[in-house]
Structure 1
Amino acid sequence: MKKYDIKTTDVELLKKWYYLMTLGRALDEKAPAYLLQSLGWSFHAPYTGHDGIQLAIGQVFTKGEDFLFPYYRDMLTALSAGMTAEELILNGISKATDPGSGGRHMSNHFAKPEWHIENISSATGTHDLHAAGVARAMVYYNHKGVVITSHGESASSEGFVYEAVNGASLERLPVIFVWQDNGYGISVPKKDQTAARKVADNFSGFKNLKIIHCNGKDVFDSMNAMTEAREHALLNRTPVIVHANCVRIGSHSNSDKQTLYRDENELAYVKEADPLMKFRRMLLRYKRLTEEELKEIEEQAKKELVSANRKALTAPDPDPKTIFDYVLPEPYEPQKYKDGTHRETEGEKKFMVTAINETLKAEFRYNPDTFIWGQDVANRDKGGVFNVTKGMQQEFGEPRVFNAPIAEDYIVGTANGMSRFDPKIRVVIEGAEFADYFWPAVEQYVECTHEYWRSNGKFVPNVTLRLASGGYIGGGLYHSQNIEGALATLPGARIVCPSFADDAAGLLRTSMRSRGFTLFLEPKALYNSVEASTIVPDDFEVPFGKARIRREGSDLSIITYGNTTHLCLNVAERLEKEGGWSVEVIDIRSLIPLDKETIYESVKKTSKALIVHEDKVFAGFGGEIAASIGTDLFRYLDAPVQRVGSTFTPVGFNPILERAILPDANKIYEVARKLLEY
């Protein structure tokens, strides 16, 4: 390995480094002025004191081979990796031409996705999971490169950072975790964050993990550490933690006042430790550059900053008309079954669990760049708790079908990351064994929903997230809840929930062929239900946002999905037999996007609407449908819109309690009859 030191490093390289450090420092110091002039940069986290390690990260990053996940303090990292001062200012003042997000994301989040300098979240440390996912793809596709992910030492207290390091060590992934230790998490000192003085030492027992400590204030020690880390990760295909000791000379950000928690002696000490001034003194002391040469470089940096500032200020602002761009990508459009229905009457009916299993296998054959993982999905002859993935690993192999740790954040986060490696990749994940256990991964669900919008259309996770949802199985807490009402509030995800085997197959096929993020809810009580079994054409497809009229009628519209679709069909038949009422049952199938056109046409015809779903009535998704009908169709209504769903309680384990809580045919019947008689 090449070793860098002040005596032998090429002079031209020293000039380049000093130029980058001087330009970065000038920009770091100028950033607050934009806020004072009301030009933007309302969030700025100064990097001063991290100069050595940030220069080294950028210098080691190899464009075309590596992926880089910089965090919000990584201004010099981005500059050193090749981004221009103008590009950094464009981000800082949120211009439309900001290469990372077009002004959509917070300032000080520098990115250039086309170079794989990735757009990351403000939730610091979450990108470690994405880094592990990219590295997994690098290994699978035999790509020469590493993934570098960077953040402060305090972020390592987050559970998802542990999950990322654990997973990268388990899978032997070429990830370099750079932890820039400046001693503080905003105002919280390191002693209140970690038991070990050097946080990387908390991970010293991990197999396959190399830990390198360096002085992040020193250019040469940092360069040597990062060079060693990259060479080790490349050669061994295993992860490395680079723990860089830094100082934070300024406040955490422009909204923080460090004099409230740091005394004068400490502030004087960290100022004396300024890495740029140390580097300058070394260049003079060892006579590598003269004072005149240094001043000339400083003048060049000053001129570049003036020019970059002038250009950035004249760049266009984001257009408010574009706010709806890049919420969701255009989905795959079904070719044969354009409306998501079929007329096949001959053939064997299949259970929903069989339809999903066979569709997964068919799509894995169709697209060899498809992967699936989750908890318990690939253990010999077992394929998940409900055997949905049974036989997949045997046919497609462990590299494409494999188990994940019991770490829901890791499951979802690495799916996000793996799909970054190449847009042809499609990932299916079983996000948790039951939907109720998914909550630890909601943070990564949020990431997936706004990646496309936040990156201004430059990246979207091509992920289908499967969850076994709902009750009616006597499962109680953590085995019977519905979560779609909460998740539907987050723009950027499609949400689908089939009621029959053919729709399960068709929606799954469309999800797996589409760009973008889809939540695929599987009502587990219907997996082996005779009522939900249907004939399933081999290549059946169902478009997103297209409801299916399960029963036509003229007196009442029942809008439903999932488990309650079958209850509603039974109620409609009972009402017809008892009172001659004609009840229309609409299975929406797709919550987001929602087929309002079919719903509205039905309500205009019947003038009465009842929304039924398994989830709680209070704050459930049906409230959105009811509000839309009330707002847009008020003049057509002959009665108030009604809803039936669960009580505002958890779902109990004892069958007596479950029956009292979940909707059933009698509860639906009573409300429907009153509505018909209104």
Structure 2
Amino acid sequence: MATAKETRHAALGLEPDRLLTMYRQMVLARAVDRRMWVLNRQGKAPFVISGQGHEAIQVAAASCMRPGIDWLCPYYRDLPFCLALGMTALEFMLAVFAKADDPNSGARQMPSHFGSDRLRIITSSSVVGTQVVHAVGVAYASKMRGLDEVSVTCIGDGGTSQGDWHESMNWAGIHKLPFICIVQDNDYAISVPHRLQMGVDTVARRAEGYGVAGEAVDGGDLLATLISAKVARFTSHSSDDDQRRYRPQAELEALLRRDPIERFRNYLLDEGVLLEADDERIQQECTAEVDEAVTAAEAAESPRPEDLLKHVYADG
């Protein structure tokens, strides 16, 4: 008797409800990201560094973690990751507007320097690559204490040229730590293309030298296996950059065909998991959520001068 071919998500043990949750997380992340650019052009957001095009790999990785148990040391494009772990659009916007109730850093960090005690997201430095050192340190502590925890960090392909990354990977390999490094390889370190950054075709090939496992995957495919993910950077490096100065127009146009949200949306529609009406509702809900977050964050209380030294020294 012939049986229907098993779907990719069924083979991975993913139920339709979970797929729709991940799709909504991707849509929300894109909506928040796009609003950031609008706020920047309005003079309300000082800086934007985008995660557009990186949504699939981040949401997929977040779905495998245990929020509040496992640790994340993010990099600056990890907005989708943090939202998927449980950070709200409002919590992010409070950081954008540098408000007193900003849970990321108490209004001390630039936007996209994520942090959450509740979710075990460790706030990072602006210096590229330092989050990997922190993640390996957390993993080492977890192993020494015999705890069932995993430490995850993300970095771009350009960041893997930093000494901090190499030292951290070497340490993780020596001590066999509960540590995962997700390289979101979007082909550019600001304006420097991949071929001028390294002599290998994928960062995953470097793993063997450290004695760790490495995988190169399609980071735009949410259902792919993780770790070294090829992704598309849809925007300029940041709001202070213009990628049209160093990326050919044909290359920029080709990126749109790799949109991870559209690819996942089409898969869900083809498999009957998502209906057009449901998609429209999700889009509207996410837009409304971002609208509410921006309105609330703009109206929130600004930091008080007497709180200047908070978050500088440990209490007690």
TM-score after normalising by structure 1: 0.44
User: CA offsets, 1:655-675, max 9 Å, x none?
Assistant: xxxxxxxxxxxxxxxxxxxxx
Q: How do residues 267-416 of structure 1 correspond to structure 2 at under 5 angstroms?
A: 267-329=252-314
Amino acid at match of 1:264: Q
Inter-CA distance 324–289: structure 2 relative to 1 (3 Å threshold): closer
Secondary structure of 1:119's aligned partner: coil
Deviation at 1:106, TM superposition (A): 1.0
Q: Which has the higher contact order (CA 8 A, sep 6+)?
A: 2
Alignment check: 8 A CA contact 1:153 1:181 kept? yes
In the other structure, the counterpart of 2:217 is 214
Q: How do residues 31-46 of structure 1 correspond to structure 2 at under 5 angstroms?
A: 31-40=36-45, 42-46=46-50
Q: Does 1:27 align with 2:12?
A: no
User: How far, CA to CA, are the matches of 1:86 and 1:78 in structure 2?
Assistant: 12
Kindly indicate which of the two structures has a greater share of residues assigned to strand: 1
Secondary structure of 1:61's aligned partner: coil
Deviation at 1:115, TM superposition (A): 2.2
Deviation at 1:140, TM superposition (A): 1.3
Inter-CA distance 329–280: structure 2 relative to 1 (3 Å threshold): closer
Deviation at 1:111, TM superposition (A): 1.4
User: How far, CA to CA, are the matches of 2:67 and 2:25 in structure 1?
Assistant: 17
CA RMSD in angstroms, aligned pairs only: 1.7
Inter-CA distance 143–307: structure 2 relative to 1 (3 Å threshold): same
User: CA offsets, 1:309-345, max 9 Å, x none?
Assistant: 22212111122333233444478xxxxxxxxxxxxxx
Inter-CA distance 292–326: structure 2 relative to 1 (3 Å threshold): closer
Alignment check: 8 A CA contact 2:68 2:118 kept? no
Instruction: Choose from 189, 195, 212 the match for 2:193.
Output: 189
User: How far, CA to CA, are the matches of 1:250 and 1:275 in structure 2?
Assistant: 14
In the other structure, the counterpart of 2:88 is 84
Alignment check: 8 A CA contact 1:7 1:286 kept? no
**Percent identity at matched positions?**
33
Amino acid at match of 1:159: G
Q: How many residues align?
A: 309
Inter-CA distance 217–37: structure 2 relative to 1 (3 Å threshold): same
In the other structure, the counterpart of 1:252 is 237
In the other structure, the counterpart of 2:169 is 165
Secondary structure of 1:151's aligned partner: strand
Deviation at 1:200, TM superposition (A): 2.4
Q: Does 1:135 align with 2:120?
A: no
User: CA offsets, 1:512-565, max 9 Å, x none?
Assistant: xxxxxxxxxxxxxxxxxxxxxxxxxxxxxxxxxxxxxxxxxxxxxxxxxxxxxx
Q: Does 1:199 align with 2:203?
A: yes
User: CA offsets, 1:211-262, max 9 Å, x none?
Assistant: 12211101101xx42xxxxxxxxxxxxxxxx211101111111110000000
User: How far, CA to CA, are the matches of 1:5 and 1:45 in structure 2?
Assistant: 33
Deviation at 1:157, TM superposition (A): 0.4
Q: How do residues 97-116 of structure 1 correspond to structure 2 at under 5 angstroms?
A: 97-116=101-120
Alignment check: 8 A CA contact 2:106 2:311 kept? no
User: CA offsets, 1:419-463, max 9 Å, x none?
Assistant: xxxxxxxxxxxxxxxxxxxxxxxxxxxxxxxxxxxxxxxxxxxxx
Alignment check: 8 A CA contact 1:48 1:248 kept? yes
User: How far, CA to CA, are the matches of 2:76 and 2:159 in structure 1?
Assistant: 12
Amino acid at match of 2:221: D
Alignment check: 8 A CA contact 1:21 1:55 kept? yes
Amino acid at match of 1:220: L
In the other structure, the counterpart of 2:228 is 243
User: CA offsets, 1:610-633, max 9 Å, x none?
Assistant: xxxxxxxxxxxxxxxxxxxxxxxx
Instruction: Choose from 49, 56, 59 the match for 1:52.
Output: 56
In the other structure, the counterpart of 2:19 is 14
Secondary structure of 2:184's aligned partner: strand
TM-score after normalising by structure 2: 0.93
Amino acid at match of 1:38: G
Gaps of 5+ in 2: 1-5
Deviation at 1:98, TM superposition (A): 1.1
* Larger-Rg structure: 1
Inter-CA distance 264–170: structure 2 relative to 1 (3 Å threshold): same
User: How far, CA to CA, are the matches of 2:90 and 2:70 in structure 1?
Assistant: 23
User: How far, CA to CA, are the matches of 1:52 and 1:248 in structure 2?
Assistant: 12
Alignment check: 8 A CA contact 1:34 1:93 kept? no
Gaps of 5+ in 1: 226-241, 332-678
In the other structure, the counterpart of 2:3 is none
Secondary structure of 2:274's aligned partner: coil
